[in-house]
Amino acid sequence: MSSSEIREAFLAFFEKNGHQRVDSSPLVPGNDPTLLFTNAGMVQFKECFLGTEKRSYVRAASSQRCVRAGGKHNDLENVGYTARHHTFFEMLGNFSFGDYFKREAIRFAWDFLTKELGLPEDKLWVTVHKDDKESEEIWFNEMGIDQTRFSRLGDKDNFWSMGDTGPCGPCSEIFYDHGESVAGGPPGSPDEDGDRYIEIWNLVFMQFNRSKEGEMTPLPKPSVDTGMGLERIAAVMQHVHSNYEIDLFANLIRFIANVLGVKDHSNQSLRVIADHIRSCSFLILDGVLPGNEGRSYVLRRIIRRAIRHGNKLGATTDFFYKLVEGLVREMGEAYPDLKKRQTYIEDALQKEEQQFARTLEQGMKILEQDIAQLSGTEIGGETLFKLYDTYGFPLDLTADIARERNLTIDEDGFNQHMQVQKEKSKQANQFGTDYNDSVELDIDTEFLGYGQAEAQGIVKEIIVD
Ligand code: ATP
Ligand code: MG
Ligand code: MG
Ligand code: MG
């Protein structure tokens, strides 16, 4: 089954079961200043779960475009290193707003996987929250799941929240066993981080709303929110292990390899670039442009990271913007706006590319010199800051290079330099514009070590047209 066929089979199955088909919402959440990007299918339905918005339906299904490159769910640093993470992906989901609850949610998921898609039960592994006896009984007594492929886990794995605040609840997850040839243990085991057992579907039983103070109040009606990564289920259906080998990525990677003249299609940098062209194109389509603050800076960081990987593969001229065409070929049918806005997206990318190309080479030279002279294994704060400030290297880009060479970065040192710079510009700007008037975003303070000040992203440049 192709990715498009799976998407359609999912939506048709839930439609047949009384769900309203709902279009994907944009990546910039219209209703939520606390959220950096739409990171799950439930985001557009947040108010329905809270009971503050009523719709004409109580069951919905969607294929939601998501970006996880900042905030509570951040997978940027996983890209290129795991078989299953993207910055941009599509999440298939079915939702119940105070209608059905655990029993039906589990039944729908199990039937879709084992009957519609015909997956063998003995390849599927199930987890529940350790205190959720109700779900456990449904799995054992009604689905007949085998005890040997079942784990009870704690909050870290089986309690889902959209962000620090908002709807949340215990969840039950379904994993696919890709077989002995891949390293990794079952969920909950010490070697669960391997890629053998891949999480495909999360069924969240929405029961609470978490306030800023961390207080949990029960939702007016228990609800259901599920999410299954389209690329992950496509990998299962297409008998490949990595998401990067599914139809869509194989074609996109072929296109990119052609543009860059690279022979080995399993090259890690090609995968990173293929991932990044998707997130960058869709972010631009949804109104974000590269810049220095908040969402715009996240986009800039992803673009620059992709350009650096292209450079590593030998690209000497602009290439990234040319990849939009390959993406349109793969996704233009499902997303007609992508095709319509192709030139706009290309122009925005090329502009950023030209700007960064001027300093990338010089910056790399500085970094190489610094690494050559390194006595330990840590790149110092001063170098990190110089690269950031003079050559436009976002910190995570330098961290990416460091990681490839088994080096670390002195994040604290970087933050100190940053702080000094901030103080200086504050003094110089005493009578200038105060950007702090703008909305503050909840950008992950842990994200590869941006300091407190950097983490307080400020939306300054969101252009929606
Ligand atoms: P993982 O543990 O693999 O990082 P997750 O627990 O963070 O996944 P959820 O928040 O439960 O993921 O999201 C629901 C589903 O969305 C997952 O079961 C998976 O199929 C898919 N998914 C999550 N993150 C990604 C990603 N970065 N790239 C592709 N698919 C993803
Ligand atoms: Mg995750
Ligand atoms: Mg998980
Ligand atoms: Mg999960």
Tens-place pLDDT, residues 406-420: 999 999 999 999 999
Closest ligand (CA of 193): 1
pLDDT at site 455? 32
Q: Is the pLDDT of residue 197 over 70?
A: yes
pLDDT at site 72? 81
- Give the position, in ligand 1's atom list, of the atom nearest the Cα of 173: 18
Tens digits of per-residue pLDDT, 95-152? Answer: 999 999 999 999 999 999 999 999 999 999 999 999 999 999 999 999 999 999 999 9
pLDDT at site 430? 65
For range 254-272, the mean pLDDT: 97
Is the complex ipTM more than 0.95? yes
For the chain, give the percent of residues with pLDDT over 90: 83
Of 442, 446, 450, residue with least CA distance to 295: 442
- CA-nearest residue for atom 16, ligand 1, is 229
- The per-residue pLDDT of the chain, averaged, comes to 90
Query: Residues with beta carbon inside 6 Å of ligand 1?
Result: 68, 73, 75, 84-86, 89, 91, 199-202, 227-229, 231-232
For range 4-24, the mean pLDDT: 97
Query: Do the Cβ atoms of 270 and 313 come closer than 8 Å?
Result: yes
- CA-nearest residue for atom 26, ligand 1, is 85
Using the mean position of ligand 1's atoms as its centre, give its distance from the Cα of residue 232 in Å: 9
- CA-nearest residue for atom 14, ligand 1, is 227
For range 366-390, the mean pLDDT: 96
- Give the position, in ligand 1's atom list, of the atom nearest the Cα of 171: 11
Question: For 27-31, 59-63, 321-325, 367-371, which range has the lowest pLDDT when averaged over its residues?
Answer: 27-31
Per the DSSP assignment, residues forming a β-bridge with 208 are: 168, 218
Task: Give exposure, 293-306, as e/b (b: 16+ Cβ within 10 Å).
Answer: bbbbbbbbbbbbbb
pLDDT at site 434? 39
Of 411, 139, 457, residue with least CA distance to 288: 457
HSE toward the beta carbon, residue 462, CA cutoff 13 A: 19
Using the mean position of ligand 2's atoms as its centre, give its distance from the Cα of residue 73 in Å: 6
Q: How far apart are CA 126 and CA 148, in angstroms?
A: 10
Using the mean position of ligand 4's atoms as its centre, give its distance from the Cα of residue 139 in Å: 18
Residues by chain with Cβ below 5 Å of ion ligand 3: 199
- Give the position, in ligand 1's atom list, of the atom nearest the Cα of 199: 18
- CA-nearest residue for atom 23, ligand 1, is 229
pLDDT at site 458? 27
pTM of the model as a whole: 0.90
- CA-nearest residue for atom 1, ligand 1, is 199
Choose which residue among 232, 246, 249 to substitute to test ligand 1 binding: the one with the highest number of ligand atoms within 8 A of its C-beta: 232
Q: Is the pLDDT of residue 183 over 70?
A: yes
Tens digits of per-residue pLDDT, 292-325? Answer: 999 999 999 999 999 999 999 999 889 999 999 9
| Sign of the alpha-carbon torsion through 462, 85, 25, 50 | negative
For range 34-38, the mean pLDDT: 90
CA–CA distances in Å: residue 34 to residues 30, 65, 156, 163: 11, 18, 22, 8
Q: Is the pLDDT of residue 442 over 80?
A: no
pLDDT-derived band at 376 (thresholds 50, 70, 90) equals very high
- Give the position, in ligand 1's atom list, of the atom nearest the Cα of 40: 13
For range 218-222, the mean pLDDT: 89
pLDDT at site 433? 43
Using the mean position of ligand 4's atoms as its centre, give its distance from the Cα of residue 226 in Å: 10
Q: How far apart are CA 399 and CA 395, in angstroms?
A: 6
